[in-house]
Amino acid sequence: MVLNENWLTEGLIDFEYKKYILLAYLKKVKESFHRVELYPFLSDMVYHYRNLLAVQANKSMIYDAFPKELSSEDIKNLELNYRTIMEDDAIMKEIESIIDFALPMLKSHLEEGSVIYEYVASKCEIEPIGLSSLALNEGYLFITQPPETETKIYRYHTTIFGSSTDPYKGIALDYVFKEKRTLSNSYEKIKLKLIRQFQDLPNPATFLILSKLKFPFTPTLMPVAKRMLVKEVSKDG
């Protein structure tokens, strides 16, 4: 179950109805967290929490929160409908009540998710493999967790998003292959194999993320690993 982007304003604007929708969603979040599965719920809740804060601070954003899949006639009348809603004290009070209920509920679950995230991150270590490269914007990421002897290998490159004055770095990962690590097939030898196979990266930045515990890979370990890698490659700007 997902919480629709416009859940606050789509359909019936009624406190008890919206409370039911939110609690059903948070029940799924709780079940996911009990399985130590962080995503997509953690990032999804961050979005909804920030959105509600913004709407609370600027009621005109309620207009933007209404569903956009409207008929041409509805689009023509949307501004009028919006003004009508803004002037309807009963509807506005209902929306404010929904927001007042939802914000602490979302915050509580976000805090729980953050604790799990920090725990997972505390059980992971990141270290370079072989000689360091001066070019950190592209390279390889190895991910290993017990009891596996296989290492999943990804090629990464950084992406920049946000404004020119306030840019953010992200990481895009492409799966390469998995390799069994043995005494005779060390991480360094696996890196050399990559260099021979993909000659467009003759001296790639290569990092290993080693988890001390086994976590759900896709919904938990992978997102944590990506965040750790972003921090590592952003150290020098």
- pLDDT (tens, 9 = 90+) of the chain, 237 residues, equals 779 888 988 888 899 999 999 999 999 999 999 999 999 999 999 999 998 998 888 766 665 665 555 555 655 555 555 555 555 667 888 888 999 999 999 999 999 999 999 999 999 999 999 887 777 889 999 999 988 889 999 999 988 754 444 445 788 999 999 999 888 999 999 999 999 999 999 889 999 999 999 999 999 999 999 999 999 988 755
Q: Final residue of a domain: which of 95, 122, 149? A: 122
Clarify whether residues 69 and 129 are in a common domain: no
As a three-state string, the secondary structure of 153-195 is EEEEEEEEEECCCCEEEEEEEEEEEEEECCCCCCHHHHHHHHH
For residues 28 and 98, state if they share a domain: yes
Domain contains 162: yes
CA distances from 167 to 51, 161, 162 (A): 21, 6, 5
Give the domain-ending residue among 122, 138, 155. 122
Q: Which pLDDT does position 212 carry in this prediction?
A: 95
Tokens encoding 237: 């700007």
Q: What are phi and psi of 39, to 5 degrees?
A: -115, 145
One domain, residues 47 and 147? no
Is there a single domain that holds both residue 21 and residue 31?
Answer: yes
Look at residues 106, 130, 127, 136 and name the one whose alpha carbon lies nearest to residue 43: 106
Total number of domains constituting the chain: 2
Model-level pTM?
A: 0.81
Number of alpha carbons in the 13 Å side-chain half-sphere of residue 146: 5
Sheet holding 138-144, edge to edge: 124-128, 205-211, 138-144, 150-162, 167-180
Residue 2 lies in a domain: no
At a CB cut-off of 8 Å and minimum separation 6, what does 197 contact? none
Rounded CA-CA distance 99/49 in Å is 10
Pair 84, 152 in one domain: no
Tell me the residue range of the domain where 25 lies: 15-122
Domain-terminating residue out of 122, 137, 162: 122
| 182 shares its domain with 224 | yes
State both tokens at 140: 């390889």
* pLDDT confidence of residue 167: 47
Residue 92 backbone zone (phi > 0: left; psi -120 to 50: alpha; other: beta): alpha
